[in-house]
Amino acid sequence: MKTIDGGVCAAKGFLAAGVHCGIRKNKTKKDLALIYSEKQATAAAVYTTNLVKGAPLLVTKKHLENGTARAIICNSGNANTCNANGIEVAEEICSLLAGTLKISADDVIVASTGVIGQPLDIAPIAAGIPPLVALLGKDSTSAAQGIMTTDTKPKEIAVEFTVGGVRCRLGGIAKGSGMIHPNMATMLVFLTTDCAISAKMLQKALSGDVAGTFNMVSVDGDTSTNDMVTILANGAAGNPEIVQEGADLDSFMQALNTVTVHLCRRIAGDGEGATKLLECKVIGAKDQETARTVAKSVICSSLTKAAMFGADANWGRVLCAIGYSGAAVDVTKIDVAFRSPKGRVEVCKNGAGVAFSEEEAKQILLEDEIEILVDLNAGDASSTAWGCDLTYDYVKINGDYRT
Amino acid sequence: MKTIDGGVCAAKGFLAAGVHCGIRKNKTKKDLALIYSEKQATAAAVYTTNLVKGAPLLVTKKHLENGTARAIICNSGNANTCNANGIEVAEEICSLLAGTLKISADDVIVASTGVIGQPLDIAPIAAGIPPLVALLGKDSTSAAQGIMTTDTKPKEIAVEFTVGGVRCRLGGIAKGSGMIHPNMATMLVFLTTDCAISAKMLQKALSGDVAGTFNMVSVDGDTSTNDMVTILANGAAGNPEIVQEGADLDSFMQALNTVTVHLCRRIAGDGEGATKLLECKVIGAKDQETARTVAKSVICSSLTKAAMFGADANWGRVLCAIGYSGAAVDVTKIDVAFRSPKGRVEVCKNGAGVAFSEEEAKQILLEDEIEILVDLNAGDASSTAWGCDLTYDYVKINGDYRT
């Protein structure tokens, strides 16, 4: 497997585009994105578990009942959530796009991200769809820009892998930034592949992947109402279709995991106001659930996040977060270390502090990517969670988001 | 019942003091506090549920097995947690104090708050105990200052109430500020009363109270390793001892609740970096657990907290926090309003936005105490949770706490 360029357009038969249609006031920011498959594709998705669900998710869920789709349209600047006419507007977006693309409205996946509770005006979207369709091309970045809110960078990646001796591609774009604490589903992530795979196997692969990837990311502990990860597989690579478990599904899942882990890291590292990516790697857990619970608790701790912003090796906060995580662990066996490209420093052994150089620790923690290494010394299970530091800018961005 | 002065010294037979002994570098900050009952008192306590427990809690738990105590000693500046010799040091503190006061070491309650994982030097405490004991008097404020860490204000209150026709008093001091998200027990809160009440009834009253008071407070979602609420009842008021449920226990619990709710509000409003007290009042819940889950989820939402800092009526974040709380609610029935001394503004009706004046909402949210009013319209249960806004200063305080 190797990383390649092209994002969601790396896979054969996929085109994309992004435009500014007028939902966002700032004309330099794209606010409408489209991904299109030249042929019918199998499709799978996972959604937020928030009881408050964005109207686009409800419409998409209905459209994906048959396991196929051809297009994904997504606007930023307005979440189309908690609005009396939300469903109606989401369906209208699908109809307008279907009319222009000459496909069935049932084959459109619709998503929205932005402010909750403000009616979404259909007019700029209706006006934006024709130029958006006209711009369709191998332009993944433009679509990645169209779904950004407070993200500072577009997020995209693609890989090439082999199934049944045939080279296939899988790529994706994502938006993250704030209200990021997915649960069973997640943020907005759009994936495409030209690998032939049945809808059932596709959903199995996606659902199996998110538990250890997007569900292990947290920026601020707030689970969005509009989280969605969706994947389209159009079979354009020409491989024998994956219809059951086995080596081919394993290859596919490995490619999928490479793409999703990359996007997790990008989403966490570009969390609202973040200056650092935090990776908590837990090993030595008695089972995977314990490892995941511990890793996520550390990543979610406001105190740990603030300490990392200040490059302060305050490992007591890591131990504290493990202690209240709800996982049954023996705290007298826990080892903690911090690691970055500048080195590694052990700070806690068997649940108690060990002497270390504060200056050396500071140098390690001043880097942009920090690993918090936890060994529970109680078994063989492991897990990784991704987060970011808590900064002045997070407060600034969210203190006055709407105005 | 009426509020009176005197804090933990309002009840007859209780003395207190606070000194700077040298644990904290800043000599203007007291770091050692003592509360002393002139006669033997019944005692009760609740503790953190964090699996990482401060050594002082373990020692205190042992000392309270017999349900009696005479003194509470607490240092700030060091939590005496995750240290290899923690238990030993906590026991030494009790022995030294018992020797000076000429009481049994088993009758000493010990607590510590501050940095985790740095050995606590016994020397300044040993040197500080004699002057601390010499200073014992009706000085509750001095003790309240001695337990402060990043708190900006000492927190104390007392009330007078009647049991069996006899006037009794109950008062308390507390420290809060950061790492505040108690679970089944809470922060450091020391309560005294001269009401005669059996150890069993005292524990029953305290345990029953915290579920709706301290456990409903959150500053940052981090459950401390050293949370403790403890109460001493020395019977000096001369009332017939409360030994069973009934009107007298009800009077006592009402007095207790008045004191604890006051301290909850003080702790939340003085959360690290806070500029505002947030109170989320949930009504119309189908049961109390639902009401509590919803109220606490709103108070804990980083996005809601940041919006309140910015005086931004971003009610979608409130709805989002209700949606991911885990409580089974019908989101299409939820009403939300904001209220402060400047007025009340309805922002959401039946789960969808209603038109409101942004200017009016801003004026309401610029106040120091904000109520977030949620009506689930599904029953008669209610609950209140207390929190604070998320500010630049929270990040500043916690970005470099140790240095």
Query: Quick check: pTM over 0.80?
Result: no
> Could you give the CA distance from residue B285 to residue B272 in angstroms, rounded to a whole number?
31
Q: What is the pLDDT of residue B273?
A: 84
CB pairs under 8 A between A and B: 204
Q: Do A402 and B312 touch (CB under 8 A)?
A: yes
Nearest CA-CA distance, residue A159 and chain B, Å: 34
Three-state DSSP class for residue B72: strand
Q: Which residue among A220, A223, A399 places its CB closest to the CB of B310?
A: A399
- State the average pLDDT over residues A33-43: 93
For B272, the closest chain A residue by CA position comes to A303
Tens digits of residue pLDDT in B184-221: 333 677 888 989 899 898 988 888 888 888 877 877 76
| Residues of chain B contacting residue A392, judged by C-beta atoms under 8 Å apart | 392, 395-396
What integer pLDDT is reported at residue A185 of this predicted model?
35
Q: B138: which DSSP letter?
A: B
DSSP at B25: S
The predicted-structure confidence for B333-357, as pLDDT tens digits, reads as follows 999 999 999 999 999 999 988 999 9
Residue of B nearest to A51 (CA): B323
Contact B399 A84 (CB under 8 A): no
Q: Residue B119 carries which DSSP code?
A: P
* pLDDT of B92 higher than 90: yes
Note whether A52 contacts B331, CB cutoff 8 Å: yes
Bridge partners of residue A77, in order along the sequence: A114
Convert the pLDDT of each residue in B120-141 to its tens digit: 999 999 999 999 999 999 999 9
Determine, for residues B52 and A79 on separate chains, whether the beta-carbon distance falls below 8 Å.
no
Tell me which residue has tokens 């409101």: B356
Contact call for A317 and B118, based on CB within 8 A: no
Any idea which residue has 């020797």 for tokens?
B99
Average pLDDT of span A296-301: 91
**Model confidence over A60-73: pLDDT tens digits?**
999 999 999 999 99
- The DSSP-derived string for A150-193 is S-SS-EEEEEEEEETTEEEEEEEEEE-SSS---SSS-SEEEEEE
Count of CB atoms situated within 10 Å of the CB of B179: 33
**Lowest-confidence range among A189-203, B149-163, B214-228, B384-398?**
B214-228
Decide the pairing of beta strands B188-193 and B166-175: antiparallel
Least confidently predicted of A149-158, A320-329, B30-39, B70-79: A149-158
Gap between the Cα atoms of A191 and A207, Å rounded? 13
Nearest to A303 by CA among B20, B277, B9, B398: B398
Residue B75: Cβ within 10 Å count = 27
**B279 and B389 in contact (C-beta within 8 Å)?**
no
- Out of A121-125, A282-286, B297-301, least confident range: B297-301
Average pLDDT over residues A87-96: 97
Residue B237 has pLDDT above 80, yes or no: yes
Summarize pLDDT for A222-264 with one digit per residue, the tens.
Answer: 666 777 778 889 888 999 999 999 999 999 999 999 988 888 8
Closest chain A residue by Cα to residue B354: A117
Is there a contact between B401 and A314 if contact means CB atoms under 8 Å apart? Answer: yes
H or E segment to which residue A377 belongs: none
Catalytic one of B81, B186, B293, B384: B186
What's the rounded Cα separation, in Å, for the pair B334 and B268?
25
Give yes or no for residue A95 having a pLDDT over 90. Answer: yes
State the smallest CA–CA distance between residue B264 and chain A in angstroms.
20
For residue A44, count other CB atoms closer than 10 A to its CB. Answer: 23
8 Å CB contact between A276 and A370: yes
The confidence band for B50, taking pLDDT boundaries of 50, 70 and 90, is confident
Q: Which residues of B touch A331 (CB under 8 A)?
A: 51-52
pLDDT at A221 over 70: no
Residues of B in contact with A314 (CB under 8 A): 115-116, 401-402
Q: What is the per-residue pLDDT for A186?
A: 39
